[in-house]
Each structure stands twice: as C-alpha cells, then as structure tokens.
A and B are shown apart, each in its own frame.
Chain A
Amino acid sequence: MFHRESGLLKVTYEADMALYPLPIARWTVAVIAVLAFLVVPLLLGDYYLSILNLISVAIVGAIGLNILVGYTGQVSIGHGAFMSVGAYTAANLAVRLGAPFWVSLPLGGLMAAAIGAIVGIPSLRIKGLYLAIATLAGQLIIEWTINHVTWISGGVQASIEVPRPTLFGMRISTQREMYFFLLVFVVLAIVGAMNLVRSRVGRAFIAIRDQDIAAEIIGVNIFRYKLLAFAVSSFYAGVTGVLYTYYLGIANYEQFQITTSIDYLAMIIIGGLGSVLGSILGAIFVTLLPILIRTTMETFGGFFFSTGAILNIVPNLRLIVFGLLIILFLVVEPEGLNRLWRNIRSYFRVWPFAY
C-alpha cells in the first residue's frame, strides 16, 4: 500500500493479481492489523471509538454497494432497504427465537440477499436509468411493507429492541467491545471483497460492467452473474443492517430510508467506484463529514449565530456540503479519493526524479 517496487517487474498473471504484490506488503498489513486491533482501542476514548464503530459499519455497507455499482456497473438506490431487511430479519430472530448473533447475522444477510436478488430481476431486462428507478421503487416498497406489516416491524414505531450480542457467555456492550466485534466483520468484508473481485466471479462482474454484450459473447452468463452481484451486494447490505442494529440495540426503519441509500452511493462515488480501498476511504469521509461540520459549528458557530439558528444550520449545511461534494467529485475527479491516493503514490514512485 505504501511501498512500491522500482518499476513494473511482473511477468505472470498470478503475480499481477496477487493480494500481496511484494513481500513487504505482508508487513504493512500486519502493522495495520496490530494498530487496528491493539493500539487504537487502547489509546482512544469511548467517543472516538463510537465514531470508529460507525465507520466500521459504513465500510461493510460501502464495500457491498461497490461490488454492485463499481464492479458490476448496476445502479442501486435500494441499499438502505436491503439493510433494513437484514436488520429486521435479525431482530425478529433474536427476539422471537432467542437466536445468537452468529445465527441471526448470516441469516439476516441471506434474507437481504434473497430480497436483493428479487429487486435485481429487472436488471436482466433494463439498465441504467430504468434500473435506478426500479431499485428506487424497491426501496419505497420494502420501506412501506416493513412499516405496515406489524408482524415484521413489531408494531409501535416500527422498532424492535434487540439484546446485545454475546460471545462465549460474554456480553458485548461497551464501545470498546463493540469495536472489536465490528472490526472482525470489517476485516472479513475487506478480505472477502478483495478475493471476490480477483476471482473468476469478480472478472465476470467487471466484464459485465465494461461491455455487457461482449461479456455475453465470451461466455459470461449475464443472467446468473447480475443476480449474483445483486445477491452478494445485498448480503453485505443485510450484514451492515444487522451490525448497525446490534450496535444501536434497536432495529428501526428510520435508519434505513432513502437518504441512507444515497449516503452509501455518495461514499462509493467520493471514495472511488470499483475499488475496495476507495469504499473504505469514502465510508470514512462520509461518516466523518457530519461530525466535523457539527463540531465546527458548535465550536465556532456561536460567534456568528444564535443557538437556535445553529440547530437549523447544521443539518442543512451538512446536506449542502454533502451534495456539493458528490457533484464536485463527479465533475472533477470521477474516480474519487482512491484516484487521488494513487496519484500521490505514483508521484512518490519516481520522486525525487519526477521526469
């Protein structure tokens, strides 16, 4: 990640596709792992850990959405709803049957995958704009169904309280315990996605994105792989919903409305379409943005505005900055933060002899 060989020296396809391009890469990953698992949770307080936890949840969802949008080229404005499917499935399992998280979490993901594949069926016939609108319809219909079927939503306020996850008899309740819990899934999500996209399946996804007709001609079964992309992506979304539900301790449809879908789309566009690292950067960026705006306004806004005005300004300012960033990245740097990162890296690759 931070290191480069002094030129392109790869002679086999396997070497080009390897997860660790250089032996030193293993060390980088090991150092990052030690930092994430040992140093960070020991150093940071609860507040910062809670932010990291939100980022962890977002990373899982953003990687999932990127598999669909970035790698397979299918638009989805329905990921918020897929998350809610996972969330309510897990919440119902946990409350009604007393299922532990290692049962409810994969089942929530699988349920979301099934629903996602169903919503993805129109992608076999339509694409681009039409698909965007079809998934938007999926979002609204799922939202409405959860809201109106009390058997799913648990009645009052459409929210279900879930018990904290337990592992070997230990309840995971503090932010620090939650951090480790979520980090495991972040690692699984990253490793899963990186291996998926360099496998046969991932190459089929990319082929469909780049030229669907050509992909079909060279023997990629479009029907299967498009639905598979929807299913995998929705599985990630479902798991995200479950994780968020366990994190909050409550399943509530308000956390998974259309704005959530748009937030996640913004993450992968700002981060970079078709890149796992981009999903991570985007998730961090979009999660931190409202926190930064709020902190800044609370610290400095008092000099210019009254407290009541700030309450109005913060959410609206967030929307404006958020929208402007989406537009800015689309117009100026369509490949997102990931591209900026690559630019920096390739600059230093030949530094200090930059010509």
Chain B
Amino acid sequence: MFDWQFFVLLLSNGILIGLMYSLIALGFVLVYKATDAINFAQGEFVMIAGFVVAVAIAAYGAPLWLAVAVGLAGMIAFGFGLERVMLRKLIGRPVIAVVMATIGLAAVLRGFGPLVWGAGTKSLPLPIPEEPVVIGPLFIPPIQILGAVVSLLFLAAFGWFFLKSRRGIAMRAVADNQQVAMAMGIDVERYFGLAWAMTGIVSALSGIIWGNLLGVDVQLSLVGLKVFPVVILGGLDSIPGAIVGGLIVGVVENLAAGYIDPYVGGGTKDFAPYVLMIIALMVRPYGIFGKAIIERI
C-alpha cells in the first residue's frame, strides 16, 4: 500500500529545502556567470556569514536588523576585498588554479571562524514561531517557508537584474566576452568585484537562514557540498537553472532518504544527489539551462 501522506510530506519538504539550496547555488552561479570563476568556498561563505550574524546577536546583543545589516555589509566588503586581493591575480590562469585557490580559501575560512569565534555551535534566533504550520497532512517549519520565500524573492530580483538593469546587462557582456566588453567602455574589473559582492549578499542571507535551521558551527559549511549537484543539474550560468536544480536535488534527496535510508542505514541524503549529478555530467554536462558551448575533447 503506497503511503501518499508520507510521499507528499517528503515532497513538500524536498521542495522547500530545495529552494533554500537554490539560494546558496545562486551565489555560485552569480560569480560563474560574470567572471567564469568557480567558487569551491561557497559553503564557507555561508558559514562565515552565519558566524558574523550569530556572534553579533549573541555576544554583542545587537538587535536582529543590526546583526543582519552587519552580516550583509561584512560579506559585501569581503566579496569586494577577495576579488581585489586574490581572484584578480588569477584571471587568465588555468581552471585548476582558481579551483585550488578557492579550496585554499575554504580552508582558511574554516579555520578562521572557529578560531576567532569559538568552536561551539551557536544558535541564530529569528523572530519566527517554532511550531510547524499544519496544512492538511503537511507539517512545515516556518523557517523553511521563510527560506523558500527569500530564495524566490532573490532569484527573481537577480533574474530581473540580469535581464533588464543597465548594470546587469553590462555584467552579461563581461561574461560573454571580456575584451569586447572592455572595448565598449565597461570597467571589467569593477564588475568582477560587483559579482563577488553580490555573492556576498546571497551568502549572508543563506547564512542567516541555514544558520537558524542547523545552528552555526564548522559543519554549516557542509551545505556548500550540495551546491555542485544543484548547479551541474541546472546549468552553471543559469539562474532558472539554480531554481530547478535546487528543486530536483531537494526532492530527490528527501525521497531517497525516505525510501532508501531504512534499507542501507542512513546517509542517502548526501549520496543520491551526487549519483544524479554523475548521470547529468555524462548525458548533459552543461545542465538543463546552461549555455551549451562545452568544449569538444
């Protein structure tokens, strides 16, 4: 007998979690879209943002709006600074150089957070109710609703930004062809910085939401590992792709965890998205919405 209620529960949970993955993946996509750089430290960005906000609330007693503002400002400055100090020097170098540099950055951030703010798990309280909202058979924690709403809002905002705004179009031009963009009078380096700053904003929001959900410590950076299946499935440079990829990964991992976990003893959640991703890499490496100009080998 197929248990519909269980299935719908897993599905709704997957959709909401998936949208929250989309938000993290958006940070990755923004940078890749504008600068062709791959950020292996996306999860650590989220973690650091979570640390800043949680510490501002807990240790300095800042009100929530101030803590969030500090987190946003801090991450924007961090994004700008990082581009300036590290990534600008790596422009034009082989892919592995940027990959390794961001892996190194990830190590630095993972050491820096606990070193400065302590290794213990910090809570990040948000003024929303704890009790799940009950809709028919569904139990939905309010934080997931908030996360999904924020995700959709920002995905729409950045979608609009790239489609309509002057800066967004300039950024697409930079992504398309740096030399032509330069010749047309676009300050390419400034837009690189801007892209990293936007990633900072998205990471700060992800950090607040995921930090509330999981608690802030080093383990928070592990959500970054979910980014790769999401962006590979959706397409590395596509904002709609980030949504669709996030939804697929969220739903698949929840269904897998619900139906396969009892047989293998747990852990399917982290495993299933990667299997899906390998299949996607073999069949359609540029993803569902990505630009299909992958180099022939």
Q: Chain A interface (Cβ within 8 Å of chain B)?
A: 69, 73, 75, 122, 124-130, 132-134, 136-137, 140-141, 144, 147-148, 212-213, 222, 262, 265-266, 269, 312-313, 315-320, 322-327, 330-331, 334
Contacts of A266 in B (CB 8 A): 100, 104
Q: Chain B interface (Cβ within 8 Å of chain A)?
A: 38, 86, 89-90, 93-97, 99-101, 103-112, 114-115, 118-119, 225, 228, 232, 236, 264-265, 267, 270-271, 274-275, 277-278, 281-282, 285, 294-295, 297
- Provide the bound-state CA to CA distance between A307 and B221, in Å: 27
Q: Is the CB of B114 within 8 A of A331?
A: no
- Provide the bound-state CA to CA distance between A330 and B297, in Å: 26
- Provide the bound-state CA to CA distance between A130 and B235, in Å: 11
Q: Is the CB of A320 within 8 A of B111?
A: yes
Q: Is the CB of A133 within 8 A of B115?
A: no
Closest A residue to B109 using CB positions: A323
Indicate which residue in A126, A315, A327 contacts B108 across the interface (CB closer than 8 Å).
A327
A-B contacts, 27 of them at CB < 8 A, read A125-B281, A127-B295, A128-B94, A128-B96, A132-B95, A132-B99, A133-B232, A137-B275, A137-B277, A140-B271, A148-B264, A148-B265, A265-B103, A312-B114, A312-B119, A317-B115, A319-B107, A320-B107, A320-B111, A322-B107, A323-B105, A326-B103, A326-B104, A327-B104, A327-B105, A330-B93, A331-B101
Q: Is the CB of B104 within 8 A of A125?
A: no
Q: Is the CB of A319 within 8 A of B277?
A: no
- Provide the bound-state CA to CA distance between A318 and B266, in Å: 32
Contacts of A126 in B (CB 8 A): 281, 285, 294, 297
Q: Closest CB-CB distance, B291 to chain A, in whole Å?
A: 14
- Provide the bound-state CA to CA distance between A212 and B296, in Å: 10
Q: Is the CB of A130 within 8 A of B285?
A: yes
Contacts of A122 in B (CB 8 A): 278, 281-282
Q: Main secondary structure on chain A at its contact with chain B?
A: helix
Contacts of A129 in B (CB 8 A): 38, 95, 99, 236
**Given A312-B114, A318-B111, A320-B107: A330 and B101 interface contact (C-beta under 8 Å):** yes
Contacts of A265 in B (CB 8 A): 100, 103
Closest B residue to A273 using CB positions: B96
Q: Closest CB-CB distance, A146 to chain B, in whole Å?
A: 12
Closest A residue to B32 using CB positions: A129
**Given A141-B271, A318-B111, A320-B111: A330 and B97 interface contact (C-beta under 8 Å):** yes
Closest A residue to B104 using CB positions: A326
Q: Is the CB of A136 within 8 A of B228?
A: yes
**Given A222-B297, A334-B93: A144 and B99 interface contact (C-beta under 8 Å):** no
Closest B residue to A209 using CB positions: B94
Contacts of A127 in B (CB 8 A): 295, 297
**Given A148-B265, A331-B90: A320 and B108 interface contact (C-beta under 8 Å):** yes
- Provide the bound-state CA to CA distance between A316 and B275, in Å: 32
- Provide the bound-state CA to CA distance between A125 and B118, in Å: 44
5 tightest CB-CB pairs across the interface, nearest first?
A319-B111, A326-B104, A323-B107, A323-B108, A128-B95
Indicate which residue in A213, A262, A326, A331 contacts B89 across the interface (CB closer than 8 Å).
A331
**Given A132-B99, A330-B90: A212 and B232 interface contact (C-beta under 8 Å):** no
Q: Is the CB of A262 within 8 A of B103?
A: yes
Interface centre among A122, A134, A265, A319, by most chain B C-beta atoms within 10 angstroms, is A319
New contact pairs (15) apart from A148-B264, A322-B107, A331-B101, CB-CB < 8 Å: A130-B285, A132-B96, A133-B281, A137-B274, A144-B270, A265-B100, A312-B115, A316-B110, A316-B112, A317-B111, A319-B110, A320-B108, A324-B104, A330-B104, A334-B97
- Provide the bound-state CA to CA distance between A326 and B110, in Å: 14
Q: Is the CB of B282 within 8 A of A144?
A: no
Q: Is the CB of A137 within 8 A of B278?
A: yes
Q: Closest CB-CB distance, A152 to chain B, in whole Å?
A: 13
